[in-house]
Amino acid sequence: AGEVAKLMVGNAKTQLAFMEIGGWDSHVNQNSLLERSLPSLGEGLATLAQGLEPIFADTVIVVMSEFGRTVRENGNKGTDHGFGNAMWLLGGAVGGRKVYGDWLGLDQAALYENRDLPVTTDFREVFSVILEQHLAVPGDRLKLIFPHYQRTNKIDFLV
């Protein structure tokens, strides 16, 4: 995280950077995995934010997973691959302290395939907002990036 911050602060042409943190697949003993992994995620995000301090006001940080987890625990005290999940948006350019998306609850009827949170806000909508409003990518270019996606314009999270 510190190296990414140095890259972003030290090179005005660098507008995007990606980091990957593995080890979150929690089919077994999910509580233990989260107890070990969440502190290092928090420390990494704090290190990133501190390193980005000179440009933090103009920064958007996205934390996401490529898939969700099932709502209910499996037989191994873990959860299996699911559908809907959460994305965290942090940074000085993000209007914070809000939750976007629709909460349908945990009743069986509200779940996707009776086991997963449904997707209520497509990740492409979030990235479209960042690309268009924060990185000034022209709206007509978004169709090249997300060719089969139709914007909903239902979220507005940037300041």
Cα–Cα distance for residue pair 101/99, rounded to 1 Å = 7
pLDDT digit string, tens, across residues 30-85: 999 999 999 999 999 999 999 999 999 999 999 999 999 999 999 999 999 999 99
Kindly state whether residue 109 falls inside one of the protein's structural domains: yes
Domain assignment present for 64: yes
- Helix, strand, coil share (%) of the chain residues, nearest 5: 35, 10, 55
pLDDT for 9-45, tens place per residue? 998 889 999 999 999 999 999 999 999 999 999 999 9
In a domain, 145, yes or no: no
When divided into structural domains, the chain yields a total of 1
Q: Quick check: is 123 in a domain? A: no
pLDDT number for residue 72: 94
- Tell me the C-alpha distance between 140 and 159, whole Å: 22
89: in domain: yes
pLDDT at 159 over 90: no
By three-state DSSP, how is residue 57 classified?
helix
By residue range, what is the domain housing residue 48? Answer: 2-116
128 falls within a domain: no
Query: How much is the pLDDT for 84?
Result: 93
53 lies in some domain = yes
Q: Burial level of 52, CB count in 10 A (0-12/13-18/19+)?
A: buried
Tell me the pTM. 0.90
Residue 95 counted as domain residue = yes
